[in-house]
């Protein structure tokens, strides 16, 4: 049974004003064939090596399901997430990509005149979601080590704040905020403010005492919503599938926005298969670590500074305005992301295949007049 927005928030002792839904804009891009007739896209944080062969085989078999509505496949995925994550089924909500879950969270947990707090630079898609929803945004600069300034974020919370967004590891910097610091932040946070923990890049993080997923090591806090994506290490960006785990009334509230209606049979089946292939995740993480180290080696050889990333992308200081570098690379059919607010000399480079990265560095060396640091 679906629960109304007002009833769910009443159960939690939290009030919220109603807000009109605003759909995400659709961006049309040039299609790319397997033999790559389009540009080399290093701006999307995808797994450049793709999904596992087991997932591809599952998608091929699941093609026979496309004449049927996908409720059964979505339910299968929800049950698998519940089993693997050891949570109750009513705490899980699916979406056609993590971005749609973030959109639903902004729309259902905040209203007109409410404030949302996030880091700067932070996930630009989330920033756009907040803007399109007509909510007020407070962007708090990262500290010197590029982690979230949680003390400043706490200070930025006013009486109208209803939502805090923490991307960890952070996009676009690829850096970590310590788990113990986030827990201390939660302990000080007002009871009616929700916190989204976006763990889209969790599987890329190597062993460290500074980090622990809020899914592998959960906290009993009704305000916390953990968002995961199958678009990154699982290699399913084109399938548009993600999920969130939240307190049951909030999961029901998010689902009531119609999120799961957009989940397809193919994407659900592919996600189940991906979760059942941990070997591919380990291989992808190890390959990414090697590729990331090679990226740093190439940057160092050119006396370029890069932020020490734990993800599948790197924020690189171009040594000059990022727009010049982005445009110069685009003219050579290499697409990178940026600039990012005050980081206006930085470009974010997603790690591609070895061939992609060789071409990236060849193109970089052809950029006119770029200066080393």
The CA–CA distances, whole Å, from 316 to 170, 203, 335, 371 equal 15, 22, 14, 13
319-349 pLDDT, tens digit per residue, is: 999 999 999 999 999 999 999 988 899 999 9
pTM: 0.89
What is the dotted CATH code of the domain comprising 279-365? 3.90.1150.10
Q: What three-state secondary structure class fits 165?
A: strand
Decide if pLDDT at 21 tops 80: no
Q: Look at 139 and 6; give whichever has higher pLDDT.
A: 139
pLDDT at 342: 84
Residues linked to residue 306 through DSSP beta bridges, in sequence order: 316
Q: Is the dihedral of CA 209, 215, 218, 224 positive or negative?
A: positive
Which residues, at least 6 apart from 44, have a Cβ–Cβ distance to it below 8 Å? 237, 350
Stretch 67-93: mean pLDDT:
96
Decide if pLDDT at 19 tops 60: no
Q: What is the 3-state secondary structure (H, E, C) of 100-144?
A: HHHHHHHHHHCCCCCEEEEEECCCHHHHHHHHHCCCEEEEEECCC
How far is it, in rounded angstroms, from Cα 331 to Cα 224?
Answer: 43
52-275 with 279-365: one CATH topology?
Answer: no
Decide if pLDDT at 127 tops 60: yes
Is residue 182 very low, low, confident or very high in pLDDT (cuts 50, 70, 90)? Answer: very high
Q: Per the structure block, which two tokens stand in for 57? A: 């085989």
231-258 pLDDT, tens digit per residue, is: 999 999 999 999 999 999 999 999 999 9
130-164 pLDDT, tens digit per residue, is: 999 999 999 999 999 999 999 999 999 999 999 99
185-200 pLDDT, tens digit per residue, is: 999 999 999 999 999 9
How far is it, in rounded angstroms, from Cα 213 to Cα 120?
Answer: 22
Q: Per the structure block, which two tokens stand in for 19? A: 């807000």
277-300 pLDDT, tens digit per residue, is: 999 999 999 999 999 999 999 999
Q: What is the 3-state secondary structure (H, E, C) of 67-106?
A: CCCCHHHHHHHHHHHHHHHCCCHHHEEEECCHHHHHHHHH
| Beta strand ranges found along the chain (DSSP E) | 40-42, 92-95, 115-120, 136-141, 161-167, 194-198, 224-229, 242-245, 305-306, 313-317, 334-336, 346-350
Every domain of the chain and the residues it spans: 52-275, 279-365
Fold type of domain 52-275: 3.40.640
Which residues, at least 6 apart from 109, have a Cβ–Cβ distance to it below 8 Å? 9, 16, 162, 163, 194, 250, 253
């Amino acid at each position: 049974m679906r629960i109304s927005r007002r009833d769910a928030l009443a159960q939690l002792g939290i009030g919220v004003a109603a807000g009109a839904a605003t759909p995400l804009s659709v961006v049309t891009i040039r299609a790319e064939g397997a033999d790559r007739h389009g540009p080399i896209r290093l701006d999307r944080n995808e797994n450049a090596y793709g999904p596992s062969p087991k997932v591809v085989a599952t998608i091929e078999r699941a093609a026979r399901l496309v004449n049927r509505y996908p409720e059964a496949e979505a339910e299968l995925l929800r049950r698998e997430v519940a089993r693997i994550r050891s949570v109750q089924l009513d705490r899980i909500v699916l979406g056609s990509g993590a971005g749609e879950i973030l959109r639903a969270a902004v729309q259902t947990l905040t209203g007109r005149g409410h404030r949302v707090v996030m880091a700067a630079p932070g996930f630009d898609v989330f920033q756009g979601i907040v803007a399109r929803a007509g909510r007020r945004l407070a962007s708090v600069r990262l500290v010197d080590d590029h982690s979230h300034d949680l003390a400043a974020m706490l200070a930025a919370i006013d009486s109208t704040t209803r939502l805090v967004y923490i991307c960890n590891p952070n996009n676009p910097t690829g850096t970590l905020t310590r788990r113990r610091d986030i827990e201390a932040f939660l302990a000080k946070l007002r009871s009616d403010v929700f916190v989204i923990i976006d763990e889209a890049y969790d599987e890329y993080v190597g062993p460290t005492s500074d980090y622990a997923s809020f899914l592998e090591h959960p906290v009993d806090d009704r305000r916390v919503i953990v968002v995961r994506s199958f678009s990154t290490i699982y290699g399913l960006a084109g399938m548009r599938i993600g999920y969130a785990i939240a307190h049951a009334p909030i999961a029901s509230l998010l689902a009531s926005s119609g999120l799961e209606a957009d989940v397809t049979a193919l994407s659900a089946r592919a996600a189940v298969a991906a979760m059942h292939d941990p070997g591919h995740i380990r291989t992808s993480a190890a390959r990414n670590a090697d590729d990331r180290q090679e990226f740093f080696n190439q940057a160092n050889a050119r006396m370029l500074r890069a932020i020490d990333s734990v993800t599948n992308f790197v924020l690189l200081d171009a040594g000059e305005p990022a727009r010049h570098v982005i445009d110069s690379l685009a003219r050579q059919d290499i697409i990178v992301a940026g600039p990012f607010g005050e980081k206006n000399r930085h470009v974010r480079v997603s790690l591609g295949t070895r061939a992609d990265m060789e071409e990236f560095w060849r193109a970089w060396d052809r950029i006119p007049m770029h200066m080393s640091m």
